[in-house]
């Protein structure tokens, strides 16, 4: 099986739903307050819906009120990559899965100060959830 970053467009379209493809491969955004993980607070881990890479732990999730799942930070290591995004007339920092390059969302410096001050604003469509045993 090819590495996720080496999959063709057709293979991604086969692997993902149309909405997931739009978010993960075309840097789309789901509508605010519509994602399945916005108000989801079970214990467990969030993985990339494109490749299964572990991205966030439930302990870092909080209710920011922004309409998308919000996390104070990714799991330890290099699970995510960040890059400058100047699309839509804004300057933001895009968050991508380091394993498959899938678009996850954006990070902003307005998170809880006592937890590092960052808000990883992530699309539910880019995530899968593994409940804690």
**Per annotation, catalytic residue among 48, 51, 100, 121:** 121
What is residue 93's DSSP assignment?
E
pLDDT single digits (tens) 58-106: 999 999 999 999 999 999 889 999 999 888 888 999 999 999 999 999 9
The span from the CA of 58 to the CA of 127, in Å, is 12
Q: What is the pTM of this model?
A: 0.93
Structure tokens, 128: 């899968």
Q: How far is CA 98 from CA 66, 84, 93, 111, in A?
A: 24, 15, 15, 22
- Give me the domains of the chain, ranges plus CATH numbers: 4-131 (2.170.150.20)
**DSSP β-bridge partners for residue 80:** 97
What local confidence, expressed as pLDDT, does residue 3 receive?
65
Q: Please, which pLDDT band fits residue 2 given cuts at 50, 70 and 90?
A: low
Q: Is 121 an annotated catalytic residue?
A: yes
Cβ atoms < 10 Å from Cβ of 92 = 16
Cβ atoms < 10 Å from Cβ of 107 = 22
The span from the CA of 31 to the CA of 15, in Å, is 22
pLDDT single digits (tens) 42-61: 999 999 999 999 999 999 99
Structure tokens, 98: 């380091």
Q: What percentage of the chain reaches a pLDDT higher than 70?
A: 98
């Amino acid at each position: 099986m090819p590495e996720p970053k080496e999959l063709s467009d057709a293979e991604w379209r086969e692997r993902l739903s149309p909405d997931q493809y739009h978010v993960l491969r075309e840097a789309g955004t789901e509508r605010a307050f519509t994602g399945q993980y916005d108000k989801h607070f079970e214990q467990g881990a969030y993985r990339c819906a494109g490749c299964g890479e572990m991205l966030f732990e439930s302990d870092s999730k909080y209710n920011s009120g922004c309409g998308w799942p919000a996390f104070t930070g990714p799991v330890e290591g290099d699970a995510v990559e960040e890059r400058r995004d100047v699309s839509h007339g804004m300057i933001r920092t895009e968050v991508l899965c380091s394993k498959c390059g899938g678009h996850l969302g954006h990070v902003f410096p307005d998170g809880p100060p006592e937890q590092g001050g960052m808000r990883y604003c992530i699309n539910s469509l880019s995530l899968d959830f593994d409940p804690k045993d």
